[in-house]
A and B are shown apart, each in its own frame.
Chain A
Amino acid sequence: DTAVSQTPKYLVTQMGNDKSIKCEQNLGHDTMYWYKQDSKKFLKIMFSYNNKELIINETVPNRFSPKSPDKAHLNLHINSLELGDSAVYFCASSHSTESYEQYFGPGTRLTVT
């Protein structure tokens, strides 16, 4: 009965590889997000989707491509991984009109070697 789930929880890979992180929410929310938390715990939004439509796209390298097949899922694909991509990536969801808080997933710790 997990509200926002992410897979995998840990991801260790080499530079240059391509990897994906999946996110699913069962809260009936219409908006989903990807955040990046760096080694200093700073959280920054990367993308936001509302009803499968991209509405926020911060200054993120083109190597990062989100995809939302439906309102309950938001995946993040990363091409040509670099050392600087190592971080914890959090997925979150919210309802755009009924409530305002965002519910976060447990995070995916990505380590690029």
Chain B
Amino acid sequence: AQSVTQLGSHVSVSEGALVLLRCNYSSSVPPYLFWYVQYPNQGLQLLLKYTTGATLVKGINGFEAEFKKSETSFHLTKPSAHMSDAAEYFCAVRTSGGSNYKLTFGKGTLLTVNP
């Protein structure tokens, strides 16, 4: 069974600073990995995904993540935080192939950005 661990339930950065949100996964098969963002009182929006191929994936709003199989990690980064990045971020994993799959989410990391 797959699982996701997000290290740090709350990350606080200054505007303009590097954002690093950590995600480690466990999966018995090659994983598909996702980062979602949830702004207050809204649904989840996909930031980026890794399925196969290039291990460094770029997403929306300047975010990127690198799949490291040896470390079973998929950390999310952004070089320079903006006030509008303040939100809850979720890492998720699913097994590949077929329609009988589900996303397993981490517990989320709340990102606050200080002026």
Contacts and interface: CB of A to CB of B under 8 A. Distances in A.
A43 B99 contact: no
B82 to A, nearest CB: 22
Interface residues of B, number: 26
A41 B103 contact: no
B106 to A, nearest CB: 9
Interface in A25-43: 30-31, 33, 40-43
Contacts, number: 55
Given A100-B51, A105-B43, A106-B42, A41 B32 contact: no
Contacts of B94: 100
B90 A43 contact: yes
A66 interface: no
B102 interface: yes
A100 B100 contact: no
A55 to B, nearest CB: 5
Interface in B41-57: 41-46, 49, 51
Nearest to B108: A41
Given A100-B32, A100-B51, A90 B43 contact: yes
A74 B103 CA distance: 18
Interface of B: 32, 34, 36, 38, 41-46, 49, 51, 88, 90, 94, 96, 98-100, 102-105, 107-108, 110
Interface of A: 4, 30-31, 33, 40-45, 48, 50, 55-56, 90, 92, 96-97, 100-107
9 contacts: A40-B107, A41-B108, A43-B105, A44-B105, A50-B100, A56-B100, A100-B94, A102-B103, A106-B43
